[in-house]
Amino acid sequence: MSIAINITGTIQDWLMNMMPEGVANIVAMVIVALIYLAIFAVAGLYLVLLERRVAAWFQLRIGPNRVGFQGMLQTMADALKLVSKELTGTVKADKFLYNLAPYFVIISSLMALAVFPFTKEFQAFDINIGVLFLIAISSIGVIGILLGGWSSNNKFALIGAMRSGVQTISYELSIGLSLLTMVLITGSLQLSEIVEVQKNGWLIIQGHIPAVIAFMIYMIAGTAETNRAPFDMVEAESELGAGFHTEYSGMKFAYFFLAEFINMFIIAAIATTVFFGAWLSPFGITESIPWLGVFWFLAKAFILVFLMMWFRWTFPRLRVDQLLTLEWKYLLPINLVNIVIMALIVWLNMTIQF
């Protein structure tokens, strides 16, 4: 039993029968975009709920469990409340950039979602430079944060945004280099090719020691990239109010908030794709049923999301100088050595393959 779920392909074929080719292409794109937008708006809301429940369990509390079964509708209600709130702003704000910033952040995080292979042929955009595209897109998001902080005309927001710039530019290196380590094994940046290579064992097993080191570095840098605790210099409630989004309210604030959680999912999804075999099931147990790949992909991604939440509710925050020391004195040199080791392993054919 195999269901063809090449979504763009199937929708396009169906539309082709009704209208000319050019129109069909555009309509298909719009439909796929709307599907992704709807799914990930809801997914973002549920990630917020997951975060709150997990945080509660770590702190021996119960967490929101009143709205709907086990609090399932809590974040929906919160979102409705935020929609109904007034959009306030500062008088001396740069109005154009101030209004543009949240869309920058949310669009860049939604764009990154397009390239993930959720299961066989369930991928909106299989670009041949997939990993590079992801790294590039994820660094565009910081421009939104910088714009938001700059245009708010607020000192807290500006300092928060500048810290975010420092942090993201530093940790971008580690993310890129740790993914590059894995690209040495796959020999391709295309995400579907990377999955194809992992049919002989997930990359974290194929690359053994250097792959595990690369994964650890990736998770540290990824947590820093999403501006989450223990690296939440950007928001730093005790020092900066709410950081770069101090002046935002209502739905614009919700965009920043949602983007933060979708970014967390993106970081987990990249790790799933590059280290843990994307939609491939462990030991190939459900290889004959491709649509179960969605389940495996999401399961792996959510385990990694949970890992990031675990970090958040365990570790104390770093100072800015400690943050930069960690990156430039520890992660970066280890990463460079790691790449050399990985290159040697690939060259000497010491990877573990099944």
Partner 1 sequence: MSYFSNIYNGIKTLLKGMSVTGKYFLTSRKGAITQQYPDNRETLKMFERFRGEVVMPHDENNEHTCTGCQKCEIACPNGTIEIIWDRGINEETGKKKKEIDKFVYHLGLCTMCGLCIEACPTDAIVWAQNYENSVYDRTHLTKVLNEPGSKVKAGIED
CB atoms within 10 A of CB 300: 24
Give 172's contacts (C-beta < 8 A, 6+ positions apart).
135, 138, 139, 225
The CB-of-51 to partner 1 minimum distance in angstroms stands at 13
Closer of 57 and 96 to partner 1 (Cβ): 57
Q: Hey, what are 19's tokens?
A: 């209208």
Instruction: Respond yes or no on whether the N-terminal peptide bond of residue 102 is cis (omega within 30° of 0).
Output: no
The one-letter code for the residue type at 17 is: N
Q: Which of 4, 330, 337, 353 binds partner 1 (CB under 8 A)?
A: 330
Contact between 114 and partner 1 per CB under 8 A: no
Structure tokens at 162: 């500048």
CB of 263 to partner 1, least distance (A): 22
Per rule CB under 8 A, is residue 61 in the interface with partner 1? yes
Is the Cβ of residue 324 or residue 334 nearer to partner 1 in the bound state?
334
For residues 17 and 52, give the distance between their C-alpha atoms in angstroms, rounded to a whole number. 47
Which residue's entry shows tokens 């195999």? 2
Residues contacting partner 1: total by CB under 8 A? 15
| 315/354 with CB nearer partner 1 | 315
Min separation Cβ 50 and partner 1, Å: 13
Q: Tell me the CB-side half-sphere exposure of residue 320, using CA atoms within 13 A.
A: 14
Q: Tell the smallest beta-carbon distance from residue 147 to partner 1 (Å).
A: 34
Residues 32, 184: Cα–Cα separation, whole Å: 33
Between 309 and 345, name the residue whose CB sits nearer to partner 1.
Answer: 309
Tell me if 62 contacts partner 1 by CB under 8 A. Answer: yes
310 binds partner 1 (CB under 8 A): yes
Among residue numbers 31 through 60, which ones bind partner 1 (CB under 8 A)? 54, 56-60
**C-alpha to C-alpha distance for 305 and 311, rounded to whole angstroms:** 10
Judged by the rule CB under 8 A, the positions of this chain that interact with partner 1 are 54, 56-62, 310-311, 313-315, 330, 334
